[in-house]
Structure 1
Amino acid sequence: MEKKLNDTQEYILSVLNSVIKATNEMNVKCYMQGGTMLGAIRHGGFIPWDDDVDLGIMRNEYEIFLKNVKKYLPGNLELRTYWDESDHHYYFARIVDKRYLIKRMGSAEIRYENVWVDIFPLDGMPSNIFALKVHQFRLALARLMYHLSCIKKVNIKRPGRSAIEKAVISIALKFPIDRALDTKKCLDKVDVLLKKYPVEESKWIINFMGQTSFKYTEMIEKSIYGKDTWYAFENIKLLGPEKYDQYLKSLYGDYMTPPKDADKNAHVSELVKQEEK
């Protein structure tokens, strides 16, 4: 039986097609990340209960992508970054469809965001074990400060959060910590740290701003990406790590067994028309 996509997935797939067309024209390689790679292998596309697409680009090409992608996008799509004038508070970039909004109800305050595809930079990490531990600590601290700066926008209903995470979020929401921190300045610190170790000189590749990257499950040996390998994602072909089994086991363990709460959408969201806001 043919899989039926929901409306949000259909709109996201349309955005994805435009993104891939743009990256192909720019000769920029875009790799599936996290749940998108999992969806391609386990479901042949979207995870049925998830409305999300995550792509990653190696840092050097990521900067080229940010600089040039606007000229390749149709009029309904727009690039969002944390340094522009929008309400985009994420470190990674997004390509959004301005015609549609998603109502997000997983955080302390209800937010409206345009239908999107997330684009993450993929960065290197130090090979020396001592330097690695120091860099990991500095990154974790910078990420914590960033999340505290926009704590009311953090998805507190995301499944799988540890007791420590829940406690930190609960405490932070009770105090006006975010008023003392500037989100853009916090992300500038993350930016400087992530650019310190070039992918070309590193044994590792990390998607640091991925959903579970603070646990460093998304720090992958560069050899796992291997040679260019294409996978079916719904009606298109996308690049992904050649050694997908090692990649997915690193992130999810037994990745072919769906979670028990599979019917829950971690984004706690619903599609609304732009004029319905």
Structure 2
Amino acid sequence: MGYESMSEKRYLTIEEIQSRMLAMMKDIKRFAAENNLTFVLTGGSALGAVRHHDFIPWDDDADLGLPRDQYEFFVANYKPQVPDAELLFFNTKADWNYPYARVADTKTIADNEFRTVANGVFVDVFPIDHMADSTRMQKFEYVTQKMLDIARNLARKNQWQPDEPGLWWKKIISPVVRLAPASYYVQRENRRARKIDHKYRTSHTAGLLTVIGVNGMKEFGQAAWYNQIIWVDFADTQMPVMKNYHDYLTFLYKDYTQIPAEADRKHHWGMYYR
């Protein structure tokens, strides 16, 4: 699905989406500077900053993280100053169905026929949590969190995707899982990640324990990666990435310098004006 107008909906172009994301990222940067917080771009946003000094040209979401204690301060105190933006988190939105925060544009909405996505153009804000150094314990933490995340996604599902992994058993457990709302699983995921971070506060392993997605256990890396940042040119401003971004991006993407073929350049969302 592209970004041109469909039916009566006015879809945003990728340039419009990225312009709105950049405005929100700049506002987060402002708040972080005013409150001595250290955030860092993660995932595809870090890749874009290093490889393109901007967003990846076809990317339509933005990701950043803060250490757990700073993240808790952020979600408790951040008030967007950029027009038409809001902070979404289960403390601010009772039916919020993600285990992390988003800063989102209130004038737009995501088009997703398979799951409920009650926000527009957004910047994801993740807690960076410490976890066990033991590979065995990391696998346990991942699998347990993954089960909660599957339940969360089933609870907010509108319809099945034809090629969905594990479709047969998801259909079996779905009626039981959906007895609770997605927000129930969101709070369990977040409480569990916070507890693990507290338990392993001095470990050498950290990452995005509330993000159980396509990267799987690759979200768990060296805590030292998050301890030192550098600022790089990003669009018309600067944004922070890990000083040791090479190891981080190689861990996530292998040869991150290679631009994928056009057929592999995936969009996540269609965004349209409300």
**TM-score after normalising by structure 2:** 0.82
Instruction: Please tell me whether the aligned partners of residues 83 and 184 of structure 1 are also in contact (alpha carbons under 8 angstroms).
Output: no
Instruction: Please tell me whether the aligned partners of residues 215 and 252 of structure 2 are also in contact (alpha carbons under 8 angstroms).
Output: no
SS class of match (1:41): helix
The answer to whether the aligner puts 1:49 opposite 2:58 as a matched pair is yes
- AA of the residue aligned to 2:28: V
Give 2:100's match in structure 1, choosing from 75, 92, 95: 92
SS class of match (1:113): coil
- Seen in structure 2, the aligned counterparts of structure 1 residues 248 and 211 have a Cα distance that, compared at 3 Å, is farther
1:142 corresponds to: 148
- AA of the residue aligned to 1:147: N
- Seen in structure 2, the aligned counterparts of structure 1 residues 273 and 118 have a Cα distance that, compared at 3 Å, is same
State the alpha-carbon separation in 2 of the partners of residues 146 and 5 from structure 1. 29
- AA of the residue aligned to 1:140: K
Q: CA deviation at 1:50?
A: 1.0
Q: Deviations over 1:184-216 (max 9, x none)?
A: 221222112211233641211111233646621
State the alpha-carbon separation in 1 of the partners of residues 61 and 181 from structure 2. 27
Q: CA deviation at 1:61?
A: 0.4
1:215 corresponds to: 216
How many residues get paired? Answer: 259
Q: Deviations over 1:158-207 (max 9, x none)?
A: xxxxx8xx322576368645532321221222112211233641211111
1:24 corresponds to: 33
Equivalent residue runs for 1:260-271 within 5 Å: 260-261=261-262, 264-270=265-271
Q: CA deviation at 1:120?
A: 0.5
SS class of match (1:208): coil
Equivalent residue runs for 1:27-176 within 5 Å: 27-70=36-79, 73-74=81-82, 76-85=84-93, 88-98=96-106, 100-105=107-112, 107-108=113-114, 113-152=119-158, 166-169=164-167, 172=170, 176=175
SS class of match (1:94): strand
SS class of match (1:78): strand
Instruction: Please tell me whether the aligned partners of residues 80 and 86 of structure 1 are also in contact (alpha carbons under 8 angstroms).
Output: no
- Seen in structure 2, the aligned counterparts of structure 1 residues 54 and 29 have a Cα distance that, compared at 3 Å, is same
- Seen in structure 2, the aligned counterparts of structure 1 residues 214 and 37 have a Cα distance that, compared at 3 Å, is closer
**TM-score after normalising by structure 1:** 0.82
Structure 1 residue runs of 5 or longer lacking an equivalent are 158-162
State the alpha-carbon separation in 2 of the partners of residues 17 and 66 from structure 1. 17
State the alpha-carbon separation in 1 of the partners of residues 87 and 39 from structure 2. 16
State the alpha-carbon separation in 2 of the partners of residues 244 and 221 from structure 1. 11
Structure 2 residue runs of 5 or longer lacking an equivalent are 1-12
- Seen in structure 2, the aligned counterparts of structure 1 residues 9 and 60 have a Cα distance that, compared at 3 Å, is same
2:4 corresponds to: none
2:273 corresponds to: 273
Q: Deviations over 1:232-274 (max 9, x none)?
A: 211111111111111001111111112224564431313x333
CA RMSD of aligned residues (A): 2.8
Q: CA deviation at 1:150?
A: 1.9
- AA of the residue aligned to 2:209: F
- AA of the residue aligned to 2:255: D
